[in-house]
Copies of this chain bind each other. A is one copy, B any other.
Amino acid sequence: MVKIAVIGFGNIGGGLVELIDKHKEIIARDCGTEVEVKYIVDIRDFTGHPLESKIVKDFNVVLNDPEVSIVAEMIGGSHPAFDFSIAALKAGKHVVSSNKEVVANFGEQLLAAAAENKVAYLFEASVGGAIPIIRPMRESLSSDDIISVNGILNGTTNFILTNMLYNGKAFEDALAEAQALGYAEANPSADVDGIDACRKICILAALAYGVIYPCDSVATEGIRNISKRDASDASELGASIKLIGHAEKTADGKVLISVCPRMVPSDVPLSSVNDVFNGIMVSGKAVGDLMFYGRGAGRIPTAGAVLADIVEIVKHLSCGQLPPSKWTRGAGSELADAKAAVSKFYCRVNGNKIPEGAIEVIQKDGETAIVTAPITEYELDEMTKGFEVVSKIRFFA
């Protein structure tokens, strides 16, 4: 019997407790032992809740109970999630987390603490919700030479963009619909400004290249400025607009990370990843292009990913520890200049004059949209000097 503590009895934490109960028999058969939730830690009051007897307010109860071998941190936000996690690792407990903010901000410290204390820190649910992506990156692709990672990593923005593209909605209306459906928060900034996608691509870049870079030094652009006209031009060009987290190793050995909306041509598999689904494309020198697709969020799908981490740990309890992962922390200043990355651009300017070097042109409503050959953003700025630029969107490279 393995006893675990779930920290945070919110959406995902509640889903995890439910799932562990519902899949009790499968888990026991799979692990060769039962898994039981001994504590649920939450500072809120759950008087009268059927699980009241398991609920404690003080995390120290968990920390001081040697029976608890695994802590599932389902709190969200940096603190106290980080503090509880590092304390648990130092106390020799394994920690699993769905908290991308903590993994992106403190991943290297937490992994180091885990290695030092011969326990595991796993976070499959922090990127791509239900999609197994962290484990394949960590295990199946770790000895490949990763050329690039491209991901639709935020379901809320993908829902909004899909709605704009297929139903001709304006951004504000599509956002309001996402909020009404519970896909977007009242304050949607973390989603629509690309902050959530940025944390996730930083985590994927760390898995690919071993270095975690600070999110606030990553060139990050959200989807607030995407207009109905951008969406309809995208359709005309045979592309979809997607918010893409991108990471690659450049020719000079630097890591390039960016988050921005991109025109994704319809022959790229990511172009058909719609609604709240996520898709992650990994290109390796040996394996070629791989894509992983699934639900990027949701109570039970995300809890399923957390459960997979718990099960991995339980399976290894009887036969030795998991191989440790290690990241170093990179300075933002070491990142490659995202504006110097080469790709085709979609660019729309006011008026009917066509910037020189356009390879495709759509003129409508007093505006001129062009597609460029593959160039840097500096070259695009040069090319459109003297024009009033209304919109510029990179193509998927």
A residues lining the B interface (CB < 8 Å) = 19, 23, 26-27, 30-31, 124, 130-132, 135-136, 139-145, 269, 272-273, 284, 286-295, 298, 300-301, 303-305, 307-308, 311-312, 315-316, 318-323
Can you report 25 residue pairs joining A to B where beta carbons are below 8 Å apart? A23-B144, A130-B287, A130-B288, A132-B139, A135-B135, A135-B136, A139-B312, A140-B308, A142-B308, A142-B311, A144-B307, A269-B272, A286-B304, A286-B307, A287-B295, A288-B300, A290-B294, A315-B323, A316-B320, A316-B323, A319-B321, A319-B322, A319-B323, A320-B320, A320-B321
A288:B284 contact, CB within 8 angstroms: no
Residues of chain B lying within 8 A (CB to CB) of residue A31: 143
CA distance A136 to B290 in the complex (A): 14
Query: How many protomers of this protein does the assembly include?
Result: 2
Residues of chain B lying within 8 A (CB to CB) of residue A307: 143-144, 286
A25 vs chain B, min Cβ distance (A): 10
B140:A290 contact, CB within 8 angstroms: no
Q: Which of B27, B139, B145, B305 lies in contact with A135, CB distance below 8 A?
A: B139
CA distance A294 to B318 in the complex (A): 34
**Nearest B-chain residue to A323, judged by Cβ:** B315
A239 vs chain B, min Cβ distance (A): 15
**Nearest B-chain residue to A274, judged by Cβ:** B267
Residues of chain B lying within 8 A (CB to CB) of residue A300: 286, 288
Q: Enumerate the 7 nearest inter-chain pairs by beta-carbon distance, A residue then B residue, closest first.
A: A320-B320, A286-B304, A132-B140, A130-B287, A291-B293, A315-B323, A290-B294
Residues of chain B lying within 8 A (CB to CB) of residue A287: 130, 294-295, 301, 304-305
B142:A30 contact, CB within 8 angstroms: yes
CA distance A280 to B252 in the complex (A): 36
A295:B289 contact, CB within 8 angstroms: yes
Q: Which of B131, B311, B315 lies in contact with A290, CB distance below 8 A?
A: B131
